[in-house]
Amino acid sequence: MQGFAKRLRPCSRLQQGGHGNGGVGPRGARLPPHSRLRAGAAAAVSARAVWAQAFAFRASAVWSGARASPPRSSHSPLGTSTGAMAKTNGRIGVAIVGLGRAGHFHMTSIAGIPEQAQLKWVVDVDESRAKSVAAEKGCSWAGSLAPALADPDVQVVIIASTTDTHFPFIMQSLSADKSVLTEKPISHELKEVEEAVRLATSKNLPLYCGYQRRCDKNFRTLKKHVDDGSVGELKVIKCCSRDNPVPPMEYLRTSGGIFHDMLIHDFDMLNWLSGGQEPESVMSVGHAYNSEIEKMGDIDTVAVMLKYPSGLLAMVDTCRDATYGYDQRIEAFGGKGMLTAKNELTSTVELATSEGHLMPCAQWSFPQRYKEAYTTELNEFITMVRAGRSSEHHRLEQEALSRHPSIVRTTIAAELSWKLGRSVDLKDMDGLLADLDKSNKDADSETRSTCDSNPSLCIDEGKNMFGDTFRNYEDSCRQDEVARTYNTMHTKQTVDFGRQQRERWLKFEKGEFTVMEIIEMLDDLIDDSDPDVDLPNSIHDFQTAERIRAQWPEHDWFHLVGLLHDLGKVMALPKFAGDWMLEQWAVVGDTFPVGCAPAMDAIVFPESFKQNPDYDHPVYGTKHGMYQPGCGISSLMFSWGHDEYMYQMLKYNGCTIPEEGLNMIRLHSFYPWHDKRAYTHFEVAEDKETLRWVREFNKFDLYSKGDAVPDVQALKPYYESLLVKYGIGGKLRW
Ligand SMILES: NC(=O)c1ccc[n+]([C@@H]2O[C@H](COP(=O)([O-])OP(=O)(O)OC[C@H]3O[C@@H](n4cnc5c(N)ncnc54)[C@H](O)[C@@H]3O)[C@@H](O)[C@H]2O)c1
Ligand SMILES: [Fe+2]
Ligand SMILES: [Fe+2]
């Protein structure tokens, strides 16, 4: 089958982004073996296993859910208490939102300073997790942040939930007058980072970001020597940070990509060591060795070069997958010498025999490597909050808040450089981002335009059958019916309703009919949600199919999609549905996902959602609702209607139309997504290709509504032959 990319003009360089093709070397290429130690590779591997056992330090796999062990004893209390603290006996009341890996290392740190801090609330959308952690820690729990923010005994909120929740939680917490320690990143959006810093400044509240490497004892010593001039003026900094093990794919889908998730730590380190300088220019190259990461449009291995105003050069090399263990190193080279922070291993003991020198293992992963740093970070943060807003510690931290936008600017520039495949000067970044945005928009509209390389294939995007422009939801001549249908739909389509309908219809027990029998029934149906047409739906089916056939003559499955796409509307016909008959608000019209907040500015007649019982629901009423960001458009539960029913019905009956075609049927009414580009936070990389096909289909669905009425009887034999070809000739179960 011809892929979309082959048909349309190739995407511009900007849009392709360069992932997977900007490799730093051939896939799978490795360094030459190290002469002595590598000579007996097999022996070394088994020796390593013995070594690991002997040192008994290889921690269990953190990504599989193992937790770090409790930290060493706490520091003594510092500073004075405030009035608010009196209620918690001078201790700072803490709420933690997000109870995954990061939430656990912060809880461990809090448990280590019982005289200074008390865990009051644990919050997670996964309520069963929140409940069981609360039982273990002896504190309150909630599925949303609001109750914790309303508690006057909470002074500090630690944000350790999924990356894209950080910014809203920061804003809510600061607005509720809480001090904030958030996991990185604050946001991927510079505007949001600036907004968060502005709010923290105006409220004079701490906003600390979890760049724990600043608290690592080795890097602190290195920094001290940089500052005391031991190596003179810095000329070059090299950072190496390689992760182990590869994080779970579901984590990576919401991580925001390697630049914002991993490299931001290195850019923070460079900001710190360079005395707060922002680079002038950045150049990144990268590659995806892991095919699952490549499918997400991300990369797993990156090299970045940066140049600073002082002349300083910096280099970072990062990889998601260092099989030998967690690896973090820094070298700072200056006019008078060089500082090196080596990778921290599980011990300092080296074994030398006639076989060679054998070193202990690297630390397994971040919880082991930074266990002490996480504790130090939290201790120092709590100490600062306890010292109060008039303390010197607090004042210095407020002054240093501007580092956050600078670090994110560097991160954005590095990512942009990788996408563009060229060096980026930070002063040009705004213009380049605007170009990139425009180029993406152009590529979007390119997929909408059929006047591609062949003008003879141009569709007449003229008027609907009433001589009006298409999709007029304001004052069409069918306005009353259309408004009534949508208002009821938006009030009544809930998660529960969707589940009931799926339970009923997806057993396919209604009866056995051929496709042509169903089309004949649709002679009796006029779609009440459609402002463009008041012809029977059966005619619309043939009009759509014939328009597609004229432009895509070779793609007969696509013609069939045109014919089939609306047949699910029979659920609104008494002749077919009998007792199960649904009113049109549950069958026709634009669809939207239930179980999360509606995209109000992308859906027609949005006001009516306010009467929907799910609108104020604690989970379904939120942006992500019952889904994980990046879960993929096909994982969403759509408002019940003809699209979903028809998609499932064709699957059930073994239809062999390619998945692109079936997706067109399933998603053709999801205008808020394919037209308005809402709900993109749920997308995965593959959804881009789906989007192109759905949009391609959409033109025919929409613009055929102005066409002449076709000779249905003459067309039937052709379409009967396609039904047989694609496995759905004869009686089907509906
Ligand atoms: N500084 C570090 O070394 C470090 C290490 C790991 C993770 N992190 C950061 O911590 C954050 C979490 O990472 P993780 O590895 O713990 O992920 P995780 O998947 O283990 O945990 C995330 C938790 O957040 C919860 N959650 C998701 N959306 C929520 C919402 N709207 N409200 C409340 N809870 C919600 C999830 O249910 C889950 O329990 C990420 O942003 C990551 O960048 C930092
Ligand atoms: Fe439709
Ligand atoms: Fe249609």
Between the CA of 94 and the centroid of ligand 1 the distance, in Å, is 17
417-409-200 Cα angle (round to 5): 160
Whether the pLDDT of residue 480 is over 90: the answer is no
Q: Is the pTM of this model over 0.75?
A: no
**Ligand 1 pocket mutation pick from 104, 162, 186, 216 by most atoms within 8 angstroms of CB:** 162
Between the CA of 701 and the centroid of ligand 3 the distance, in Å, is 5
Q: Is the peptide bond before 245 cis (omega within 30 degrees of 0)?
A: yes
Whether the pLDDT of residue 200 is over 60: the answer is yes
Read off the pLDDT of each residue in 194-206 and give the average, rounded to a whole number: 97
Q: Residue 706: its pLDDT value, please?
A: 59
How many other CB atoms sit within 10 Å of the CB of residue 598? Answer: 26
Query: Mapping DSSP to helix (H, G, I), strand (E, B) and coil, where does residue 298 land?
Result: coil
Least confident of 30-44, 195-209, 251-265: 30-44
Are the C-beta atoms of 709 and 465 separated by less than 8 Å? no
Between the CA of 300 and the centroid of ligand 2 the distance, in Å, is 41
Quick check: CB of 98 below 6 Å from ligand 1? yes
Burial of 430 per CB tally in 10 Å (0-12, 13-18, 19+):
exposed
Count of positions (residues) in the chain: 734
Whether the pLDDT of residue 39 is over 60: the answer is no
Between the CA of 540 and the centroid of ligand 3 the distance, in Å, is 7
Are the C-beta atoms of 649 and 734 separated by less than 8 Å? yes
Quick check: CB of 162 below 6 Å from ligand 1? yes
Atom of ligand 1 nearest to the CA of 622: 31
Are the C-beta atoms of 395 and 230 separated by less than 8 Å? no
Q: Residue 401: its pLDDT value, please?
A: 96
Give 681's contacts (C-beta < 8 A, 6+ positions apart).
164, 623, 624, 629, 630
Are the C-beta atoms of 394 and 264 separated by less than 8 Å? no
Atom of ligand 1 nearest to the CA of 250: 19
Q: Residue 417: its pLDDT value, please?
A: 94
Quick check: CB of 157 below 6 Å from ligand 1? no
The interaxial angle of helices 687-703 and 537-551, nearest 10 deg, is: 120
For residue 222, what are its two tokens? 């290195």
Task: Give CA–CA dist 100/246, Å, rounded.
Answer: 16
Quick check: CB of 365 below 6 Å from ligand 1? no
Quick check: CB of 508 below 6 Å from ligand 1? no
Between the CA of 309 and the centroid of ligand 3 the distance, in Å, is 59
Q: Residue 478: its pLDDT value, please?
A: 64
Query: Mapping DSSP to helix (H, G, I), strand (E, B) and coil, where does residue 88 land?
Result: helix
Quick check: CB of 161 below 6 Å from ligand 1? yes
Task: Give CA–CA dist 299/322, Å, rounded.
Answer: 14
Please report which confidence band the pLDDT of residue 533 belongs to, taking 50, 70 and 90 as the band edges. low
Are the C-beta atoms of 166 and 183 separated by less than 8 Å? yes
Are the C-beta atoms of 629 and 164 separated by less than 8 Å? yes
Q: Residue 553: its pLDDT value, please?
A: 87
- Condensed to tens digits (0 to 9), the pLDDT of residues 391-426 reads 999 999 999 999 999 999 999 999 999 988 999 999
**Atom 41 in ligand 1: residue holding the nearest Cα:** 163
For residue 263, what are its two tokens? 């490299």
Give 415's contacts (C-beta < 8 A, 6+ positions apart).
257, 259, 260, 284
Q: Tokens 């609108």: give the residue.
A: 615
For residue 333, what are its two tokens? 């080279």
> What are the CA-CA distances from residue 598 to residues 139, 144, 400 (Å)?
33, 19, 39
Which residue would you say has higher pLDDT here, 148 or 68? Answer: 148
For residue 234, what are its two tokens? 């810095």
Task: Give the closest ligand to the alpha carbon of residue 378.
Answer: 1
Quick check: CB of 124 below 6 Å from ligand 1? yes
Between the CA of 617 and the centroid of ligand 2 the distance, in Å, is 29
Task: Give CA–CA dist 30/126, Å, rounded.
Answer: 42
**Atom 19 in ligand 1: residue holding the nearest Cα:** 100
**Ligand 1 pocket mutation pick from 107, 183, 378, 628 by most atoms within 8 angstroms of CB:** 183
Between the CA of 104 and the centroid of ligand 1 the distance, in Å, is 10
How many other CB atoms sit within 10 Å of the CB of residue 687? Answer: 20
How many other CB atoms sit within 10 Å of the CB of residue 80? Answer: 11
Average pLDDT for the chain: 84
Which residue would you say has higher pLDDT here, 505 or 482? Answer: 505
Q: Where are the alpha helices (DSSP H) in 278-427?
A: 291-295, 366-369, 371-387, 392-399, 403-420
Atom of ligand 1 nearest to the CA of 143: 33
Q: Tokens 């509720």: give the residue.
A: 176
Reference 486, options 338, 346, 606; nearest CA is: 606
Least confident of 57-66, 454-463, 571-580, 708-717: 57-66
- Condensed to tens digits (0 to 9), the pLDDT of residues 124-155 reads 999 999 999 999 999 999 999 999 999 999 99
Task: Give CA–CA dist 245/365, Å, rounded.
Answer: 7
Task: Give the closest ligand to the alpha carbon of residue 168.
Answer: 1
Are the C-beta atoms of 702 and 543 separated by less than 8 Å? no
**Ligand 1 pocket mutation pick from 101, 372, 631 by most atoms within 8 angstroms of CB:** 101
Residue 604 amino acid letter: V
Quick check: CB of 164 below 6 Å from ligand 1? no
Residue 261 amino acid letter: D
Q: Residue 170: its pLDDT value, please?
A: 96
Read off the pLDDT of each residue in 582-595 and give the average, rounded to a whole number: 94
Give 628's contacts (C-beta < 8 A, 6+ positions apart).
162, 250, 253, 254
Between the CA of 471 and the centroid of ligand 2 the distance, in Å, is 13
Are the C-beta atoms of 320 and 243 separated by less than 8 Å? yes
Between the CA of 675 and the centroid of ligand 1 the distance, in Å, is 32
Phi, psi of 644 (to 5 degrees): -65, -40
Least confident of 424-433, 528-537, 566-575, 689-698: 528-537
Which residue would you say has higher pLDDT here, 88 or 552? Answer: 552
Number of C-alpha atoms within 13 angstroms, CB side, residue 176? 21
Atom of ligand 1 nearest to the CA of 212: 1
Are the C-beta atoms of 665 and 564 separated by less than 8 Å? yes
Determine what percent of the chain is predicted with pLDDT higher than 70. Answer: 81
Give 114's contacts (C-beta < 8 A, 6+ positions apart).
74, 91
